[in-house]
Amino acid sequence: MATIHVYGPLGAGHVNPTLGIVAELVRRGHTVTYWAPRMFSARILETGARFEPVTSTWEQHGGGPPQMHGREFTRAMGLLLDETTAMVPQLDQAPRPDLVLHDGTLAWWGRILAHRWGVPAVETWPNFVGNEHWSMNAYTKITPLSPRFLWQVLRIGRYLRSQGIRDVGGFLQGRLAAARLVTIPRAFQFAGDTFTDWEFVGPALTERSFQAEWAPPSGDLPVLLVSLGTAYNARPEFFRMVLASAAERPWHVVLAIGDQVDPGSLGPVPANVEIHRQAPQLAVLRHARAFVTHAGMGSTMEAIDHQVPMVAVPQMVEQRANADRLAQLGLGRGLDPEHLDAPSLWEAVDAVAEDPEVRGELARMRGECVAAGGAPRAADVIERVLAGR
């Protein structure tokens, strides 16, 4: 059996998709240690892996997360480089593992450490991936010749060369990895059939017993889950709109507002609404008739798994791409958050909840997720890499 080091960044949408894979590796007898910010300790320990806390520079960063397009994308590159240079010294004194498993989008330090130790790296990608046929550039709209962008590329290249890595493009795209696991089904990926060197293993969900259980109240009102995720949720005006209009609607609303909004500032809470900082999302989805979501990829996959129609209200560019794709595939509707009012929101909720075609497409896409193989398929790929090391 192998010794595996796992690295996750400060982002639930990047840690949660790895949990089922880690649990499967532990089940197969591998020795797995997971380094991540302390806030993720309970969910990681639930997998059976050993947990080691790290200190993220992003925990003290003000101004909110970057918006990941234009100048904000360039700022995000700088923040990620700063995080990487802070993480590597925290982690490089651990004993050399047989393999590194890490988030490919954000946990660049996994690539650095695998290179330093001379061991294979397997990456998890919980989002759309890109090639010559489709990429997020259509959404991020960066200017490659921008002086700010070029400066960040220069900084990244200088750091990578100091670590003995000269293929900057290969590093940034994860091409140096022994395998890249995409935790969505190929059928959900834009231009999915054109990706020949990625493993689309689909979502690897866990039960998340670290979260509270939830059951709907007595009565026959259908359940509506409303959440803008864990990062881009500082939207008090959106939550006020939901609260102000919910009393007139025949729904029981579970409203997850996150930790950036004061619930006392949102106004009166109707009897058919319950407010949570963080709702036990999987437990609520088991009972939900519809889901108003930011369209984060993790939440999107969870809604598909539970076959819950979605109304997408994206808050950043990756979520806009997700919203476009789920609407294109008939899994729900996407709404423009900049021109959103209560009537249009509730009209969309009622429409998707009663649409048999949406239900049918959700069932089909759930079948694609199951066929992709999930955690067992991912573990098979990792063990194949280990066998060939």
Does residue 207 belong to any structural domain of this protein?
no
Q: The domain containing residue 29 runs over which residues? A: 3-202+373-387
- CA dihedral (209, 210, 216, 218) in degrees, to 10, reads 90
CATH of the domain at 113: 3.40.50.2000
- 97 and 33 in a common domain: yes
The identity of residue 184, as a single letter, is I
Does residue 131 belong to any structural domain of this protein?
yes
pTM (predicted TM-score): 0.93
State the average pLDDT over residues 99-118. Answer: 97
Q: How far apart, in whole angstroms, are the C-alpha atoms of residue 140 and residue 23?
A: 34
Q: What is the DSSP string of 45-76?
A: HTTT-EEEEE--GGGG--S----SSHHHHHHH
pLDDT in tens, 344-370: 999 999 999 999 999 999 999 999 999
- 281 and 184 in a common domain: no
Does residue 326 belong to any structural domain of this protein?
yes
Average pLDDT, the chain: 92
Does residue 214 belong to any structural domain of this protein?
no
- 90 and 228 in a common domain: no
Strands 31-37 and 50-54, by their bridges, are parallel
- 72 and 173 in a common domain: yes
pLDDT in tens, 259-296: 888 888 888 999 999 999 989 999 999 999 999 999 99
Closest CA to 30 of 54, 7, 52, 50: 50
Strongest mean pLDDT among 20-29, 208-217, 239-248? 20-29
Residue 67 has pLDDT above 70, yes or no: no
- 233 and 320 in a common domain: yes
Q: Is 28 helix (H, G, I), strand (E, B) or coil?
A: coil
**Phi, psi angle pair for 177, to nearest 5°:** -75, 150
Q: How far apart, in whole angstroms, are the C-alpha atoms of residue 151 and residue 25?
A: 40
Structural domains counted in the chain? 2
Does residue 17 belong to any structural domain of this protein?
yes
CB 245 within 8 A of CB 342: yes
- 189 and 42 in a common domain: yes
Does residue 120 belong to any structural domain of this protein?
yes
- 379 and 346 in a common domain: no
Q: How far apart, in whole angstroms, are the C-alpha atoms of residue 60 and residue 64?
A: 10
- 237 and 138 in a common domain: no
Does residue 88 belong to any structural domain of this protein?
yes
- 179 and 110 in a common domain: yes
- 379 and 235 in a common domain: no
Does residue 212 belong to any structural domain of this protein?
no
310 contact partners, CB below 8 Å, separation of at least 6: 290, 291, 292, 293, 295, 300, 303, 326, 331, 332, 333, 352
- 284 and 170 in a common domain: no
Q: Partners of 6 in the beta sheet?
A: 34, 101
- 227 and 88 in a common domain: no
Strands 332-334 and 121-125, by their bridges, are unpaired
Residue with tokens 């590329």: 153
Q: What is the DSSP string of 141-172?
A: ---TT-HHHHHHHHHHHHHHHHTT---HHHHH
CB 9 within 8 A of CB 65: no
In the chain, % of residues over pLDDT 70: 96
